[in-house]
Structure 1
Amino acid sequence: MKKPPYFKTSLAVIAVFILLLVMKSYSTAPTNQQNAATKQNSTTTQVEKTEDSLVEDKRVYEGHDGNKVKHVYITVFDQNRVPDNDISFYELNESYKEYSNLDDGPKLNILFETGTDKGPEKSGFIDLGKSSPNASIELRGRSSRLEAQKSYKIRLSDNGGLWYGQTVLNLNKHADDVTRVRNKLAFDFFKEIPDLISLRTDFVQLHVKDMTNPNAGDEFVDYGLYTHVEQLNEKALAARGLNPDGHLYKAENFEFYRYHDQLKLSDDPTYDKKTFESVLKISGSEQHEELLTMLDDVNDMSKPFNEVFSKYFNEENYLTWLAVNVMFGNYDTMSTNYYLYSPLNSEKWYFIPWDFDKALGRDAERTDDFPSWHLGLQRYWGTVLHKRYLRDPQNVEKLSKKIDELTAIINEESMAKKIDEYRPIVKPYTLRNPDLKYLGIEASEFDSSYNKLKTVATRYQALYKESLQFPMPIFLHYQRENNQDVFKWETSHDLQEDTLTYHLQISTEPTFQSTILDIKDVKKFSYETDILKPGRYYWRVLVKDEEGHTQIPFDYYKDNARIIHWGVQEIIVAKGASS
């Protein structure tokens, strides 16, 4: 059959078209390769951008044996040898009575040496004939300074060398911790947890030669077992591969409010560093613009919180910090005992844990009454940032998920492993003088108290889950205005969105055995009464959800017998008081 002429033409056209395509592919190949290279470079650039995750270089812990007792020997010089030592070591230990702020307290110049249990030995520290100081010693700890056995901070001078790469020793006695290991246990776990940084900890036996005491001999005196925790400073940050510059603050009495009267720029004519540090202790840059900008935005209720949070905080770091505090039952973290860190050239702020001697079962050893909100989610409700974040049920779910995730690291088996490693060190020291003399329990009870550490995290996880069923605590406010006494309180919050009722009580006694006003279902968040007669009054508001879960306020009253009445506010109406 004869093919039509147009078919041959079509074949020719197709052949030419294919040839053109092949030629085009060769001509465009370099362009495609350039595009691929450009895309690869773009990807590489994205990878090289600074991540906002907090990642520490774990190599800092390699070769560090924190379970081996280190021996520290200090010689406290008298004024004859060191003129600046114008007080005795005894007076240093008693100086807390005179100095309410430890930063203003006295220091003594000392000779710092290391060695073995046999005595000091040359170990890299400059030998000045043992007659010249190479360090200073001072008291440390806000509450521990009141204990019979003091805790100390030792600062090595330039001629004092480095102690395992560190210039500061924080020697904690932890006299109210019968196990002696709670703080160390926490930081040893942090070394294994992502999105947090830890600090190196060591067991230290302290030996003191007190030349300021004329009745003391020329021998070193055993001061017992201490635990050292690495000072968080520029050296510690750099050792972990983190930017040593930037901002580092330690929370002293800080709940993320703006604190306009205390927190000011350093070039403000009314700026006072001591006032500033009553809220946040400055451990880094004294340029506070970034901090104050962040606090302005956190306290600006007109700004969407999720946008503010994502701008200034890393959620994984934040959730991990919250989770470990919940799992360890660290009730002393609502306004203190943590650091805020922001690297140079970054808007992000990171939480770094600090001080866990009040955690891991310390609440169970207390002899006084303890409010339930201290051990659950509620303890964070008094802090602006936490309150805004946890108001969202999805964020609470994220926290619960993070706690579940961390049980792969923090569990009864891992707890048992760590405390069993510590026991051969801690028990002999604790059950002999000088530590035995001040131990808060009978020596025969040590093992049972120590073994409770194994299950303590399990207990706190159960308490956390239980706390989710309860309403949030509130703050109370009383004032006299327009010839009336006005009682106001905050709105509570329920994670299950149950309807809440408020029960107002006013009494002349903090135990509320009898009341002068008792209203079970107040419809608003304030109540006005006629002016009360002069005297002392106590009031509270009990919050109840639909399931009967009752919550008390954050407020408390301590009576003359030092008994704390939780959830109660005292009112003193003076004679002749008016509006």
Structure 2
Amino acid sequence: MKTAIQIPEYKLFIHPATISELRKDIWIDDPVAAKLTIYKKKYDIDLAYRGNHIRDLKKKSYRISFYKPGMYRNAKEIHLNAEFKDPSLLRNKLSLDFFYDIGCLSPKSQFVLLKLNGKNEGLYLELESVDAYFLGNRQLPTGAIFYAVDGDANFSLMSDLEEEVKTSLGLGYEMKNGTAQDKGHLEEMIIKVNTISKEAFEDEIIKYINVDKYLRWLAGVVCTQNFDGFVHNYALYQNSDTGLFEVIPWDYDATWGRDVNGEVMEEDYLRIEGFNTLTARILDVKKFRHQYKLLLEEILDSKFNVAYMKPKIQQIHGLIRPFVEKDPYVKDGLDLFDKELVYILDFIEARGKYIRTELTNLT
């Protein structure tokens, strides 16, 4: 008999004067001291707001670092996402679980109920931080980790933001784990992506990129239709044993048929060839293009379809519904929350059909 999945309650205490300090400027990343109680165990933590376009929403998202005790469930840092723009509240988790199912490295996530100084702040999605502990918990070789923080993380020599040659090849990335030497490896990889000749690309790029893992990540972005995913919403991990880079998804709420503002995104909005310089160069190689086509076909048959996804969606929807009813920020949207289950399933059906019709582009 399966044990029922529980949603833990996180009790956050922030001194009133500290709350005023935190709210004075929501764009400051400096953390404040706070306390967190989980299952009656108390933690001293550092807390800061997180996100870019979501910071000025009334339901805030948070980044939490543990310092006394210094770890929680083998993690030094976690993220609490409000998922406020997603009427289903489940797109981010659904996406990250989907990436894991198709063979990508992906952060773990769970829903939690948050209380702030005794006040119910509603349902949050706890996201595992992609850092050295992320690697250790999976018994992966240590390695550099870079967060793609803006559109300049486009694998190009040209800036996506300024439309001119980059002044530094590290633009668009924030190093989460690693050394100055690792920054050099990142810059070398970007140079090679842009300068290896067409004739040599197939043989040379596999010295820098784990192409199989990259194509799996690409398939995940294309299926979930995360438009920002090609230059944002990911982390780069360089495996120290192989020296190869692979991509880890991050922040996937704008998916499954809705954009970053929660508005409808039609199933044909994102082409299956994707974007960014590295994707274009990899798919320019016939062997890799064929590999990607076979991978998409396999995922459509086995994972990205209503039969496979429906029970997963129903389980998460049923788990969080009682908490959505009581969430002070989203309880008035309960009717839309219920309709989202069918909406997402309809998107999967329509998106799957669209991808199949476009597979001939990969021959």
For Structure 1 versus Structure 2, the TM-score category normalised by the shorter chain is 0.7 to 0.9
Task: Tell me which of 232, 253, 256 is aligned to 1:336.
Answer: 232
**C-alpha distance in structure 2 between counterparts of 1:107 and 1:231, whole Å:** 16
* Change over 3 Å in CA distance of 1:427–1:324 after alignment to 2: same
Counterpart residue identity of residue 58, structure 2: A
Residues 1:406 and 2:299 are matched in the alignment: yes
Are residues 371 and 225 of structure 1, via their aligned partners in 2, closer, same or farther at CA, if it must alter by over 3 Å? closer
Query: Match of 2:220, SS?
Result: helix
- Find the aligned partners of 1:318 and 1:398 in 2 and give their Cα distance: 11
Q: Provide the C-alpha distance between the structure 1 equivalents of 2:176 and 2:4, rounded to a whole number of angstroms.
A: 25
- Decide which structure has the larger Cα Rg and report it: 1
Size of the alignment, in residue pairs? 350
In the other structure, the counterpart of 1:385 is 278
Which of 61, 86, 93 matches 1:151? Answer: 61
Structure 2 CA distance for aligned equivalents of residues 290 and 146 of structure 1: 36
2:162 is matched with: none
Contact kept, 8 Å, 2:93 with 2:109, in 1: the verdict is yes
CA–CA separation in structure 2 for the residues paired with 1:359 and 1:367: 10
Give the Cα–Cα distance (whole angstroms) in 2 for the partners of residues 241 and 458 of structure 1.
36
Q: Name the residue aligned to 1:445.
A: 336
Deviations 1:112-141 (A, max 9, x none): 1113xxxxx2x3x46xxxxxxx11110011
Q: Which structure: greater helix fraction?
A: 2
> Which residues of 2 match residues 94-243 of structure 1 at below 5 A?
95-96=25-26, 99=27, 104-115=28-39, 121=40, 123=41, 125=42, 134-157=44-67, 159-194=68-103, 196-209=104-117, 220-243=118-141
Whether contact under 8 Å (2:217, 2:249) holds in the other structure is yes
Q: Which residue is equivalent to 2:11?
A: 73
In 1, Cα distance between the equivalents of 2:261 and 2:287? 35
2:236·2:247 contact (CA, 8 Å) conserved in 1?
yes
For residue 300 of structure 1, report the CA deviation from its aligned partner. 0.7
Kindly report the root-mean-square deviation, in angstroms, between the aligned alpha carbons of the 2 structures: 2.8
1:391–1:495 CA contact under 8 A, matched in 2: no
Whether the aligned pair in 1 keeps the contact of 2:225 and 2:270 (CA below 8 Å) is: yes
Partner AA of 2:105 in structure 1: I
- In the aligned structure 1, how far is the partner of 2:19 from the partner of 2:260? 35
1:489 is matched with none
Q: Does the 8 A contact of 1:182 with 1:360 survive in 2?
A: yes
How has the CA–CA distance of structure 1 residues 204 and 282 changed in structure 2, closer, same or farther, with 3 Å as cutoff? same
CA offset at residue 495 of structure 1? 6.5
1:502 alignment partner in structure 2 = none
User: With CA pairs under 8 Å and 6+ residues apart, which has the higher RCO, 1 or 2?
Assistant: 2
In structure 2, runs of 5+ residues without a counterpart are: 159-164
Could you tell me which residue of structure 1 aligns to residue 354 of structure 2? 463
- Aligned equivalent of 2:157, options 228, 233, 258: 258
Q: Does 2:303 correspond to 1:395?
A: no
Tell me the CA shift for residue 162 of structure 1.
2.7
AA in 1 matched with 2:190: L
Is the 1:251–1:335 contact (alpha carbons within 8 Å) kept by the matching residues of 2?
Answer: yes
Aligned residue number for residue 208 of structure 2: 312
Contact 1:66 1:201 in 2 (8 A): no
Asked if the contact 2:30–2:48 (Cα under 8 Å) also holds between the matched residues in 1, the reply is yes
The percent of aligned pairs where both chains have the same amino acid is: 23
**Contact 2:10–2:37 under 8 Å retained in 1:** yes
Alpha-carbon shift at residue 366 of structure 1 (Å):
5.0
Q: 19, 32, 48: which one pairs with 1:89?
A: 19
Deviation of 1:393 after TM superposition, in Å, equals 4.8
Cα distance change, pair 431–329 in 1 and its aligned pair in 2 (3 A):
same
Contact 1:71/1:206 (8 A) holds in 2: yes
Matches of 1:367 and 1:373, distance apart in 2: 15
The Cα shift of 1:301 comes to 4.8
- Contact map agreement 2:141 2:241 (CA 8 A) in 1: no
- Secondary structure class of the residue paired with 1:283: strand
Matching residue of 2:247: 351
CA distance in 2, matches of 1:208, 1:372: 39
Equivalent-residue separation in structure 1 for 2:6 and 2:20 (angstroms): 30
- How far does the alpha carbon of each residue in 1:163-205 deviate from its partner, in whole angstroms, 9 at most, with x for none? 22222121001101011011111222334333x1222211111
Q: Is the 8 A contact 2:290 2:362 kept in 1?
A: no
Partner of 2:161: none
How far, CA to CA, are the matches of 1:362 and 1:90 in structure 2? 34
Partner secondary structure for residue 122 of structure 2: strand
Instruction: Tell me the alpha carbon deviations over residues 233-268 of structure 1, each in whole angstroms, 9 at most, x when there is no partner.
Output: 101101101112x2111112211113675436xxxx
Residues in 1 aligned to 2:251 and 2:139: alpha-carbon distance in whole angstroms: 23
CA separation in 2, counterparts of 1:346 and 1:208? 45
> Does the residue aligned with 2:228 lie in a helix, a strand or coil?
coil
How far 1:91 moved relative to its partner? 4.6
TM-score scaled by length of structure 2: 0.86
Deviations 1:463-494 (A, max 9, x none): 3344567xxxxxxxxxxxxxxxxxxxxxxxx8
Letter matched to residue 294 of structure 1: M
2:218 and 2:274 in contact (8 A); partners too: no
| d(CA) in 2 for partners of 1:295, 1:460 | 32
Instruction: Spell out, residue by residue over 1:509-567, the C-alpha distance to the aligned partner (whole angstroms, 9 max, x if none).
Output: xxxxxxxxxxxxxxxxxxxxxxxxxxxxxxxxxxxxxxxxxxxxxxxxxxxxxxxxxxx
